[in-house]
Amino acid sequence: MRTDYGNASGMRATDHLTIAGKSFTSRLLMGSGGYSSQQVMMESLEESGCEIVTVAVRRINLQAESGRNLSVQDLLRAKSYTLLPNTAGCYTAEEAVFTAELAREALETDWIKLEVLGDRETLYPDASELLRATETLVRKDFVVLPYCTDDPVLCMRLADRGCAAVMPLGAPIGSGQGILNPYNLDMIRARVALPLVLDAGIGTASDAARAMEHGCDAVLLNSAVSKAGNPALMARAMRQAVEAGRAAGRAGRIPAKTLAEPSSPTPGLARRS
């Protein structure tokens, strides 16, 4: 199958990520929490090449600060990042809707990463509350990007309710376990036509590449970079992994086999008589 990959620069120029009619050259989305300092955060974001950065509405100061230090959102806007506020820390649909409305007023964006948690230890989403919040926010003209489990049926229901993308976890938030159930990811990809963003569980660059090879359109991560020994270096690795995984997924891997197969043809080989 022919692709539009002439070279690396051509790939980035033509293979854009499009969500709700807006296009981005990077398929890596980054979080802004957990860094040791704002400087480390900004260096890491730059190395990642990302364009979309998530901000936890309930954990940042949404008002302009009067001191010398800029707020996180001011720093990100100064570098022209697209802000994606999230509803982290919400446990009911009502809480999540209120937080989304607060974000829209303060940050002047209709985009929201919707999180409605159901358990404080696993941080797994509450499916019923998530669906309720989605219905309300879509009616209020939000662009909803829901964090959800890797349940194909739930992803289909979210798509039916008007989400702009689905964002299943690969593993629990911050666990670094990578993709625990690639079979479910494949089923979601086959059944949901919306952009598919792997959200949560990434531990290292190979996890990000694997997600893209399984047909994800993008990867969203935070802890894998912010808590790395060298965040900026890990951010660069994630950028390269997402690009490599995207190319490999589109190129098409060879079938996995149980026995060896020579890479060179055997007919016509010179043999000793």
Q: Do residues 87 and 96 lie in contact, with contact meaning Cβ atoms separated by under 8 Å?
A: yes
As a whole number of angstroms, the distance between CA 170 and CA 147 comes to: 11
Q: Do residues 55 and 85 lie in contact, with contact meaning Cβ atoms separated by under 8 Å?
A: yes
- Please name the residue that has the structure tokens 């479910």: 184
- Which residues lie across from 208 on neighbouring strands? none
Query: Is 22 an annotated catalytic residue?
Result: no
As a whole number of angstroms, the distance between CA 235 and CA 228 comes to: 9
Q: Give the type of residue at 119.
A: D
**Catalytic residue (choose from 79, 113, 140, 257):** 113
Residue 148 CA from chain centroid, whole number? 12
Q: Is 99 exposed, middle or buried (0-12, 13-18, 19+ CB in 10 A)?
A: buried
* Cα distances (angstroms) measured from residue 31 to each of 3, 28, 34, 123, 174: 31, 10, 9, 16, 12
As a whole number of angstroms, the distance between CA 158 and CA 197 comes to: 14
- Give the catalytic positions in this structure: 113
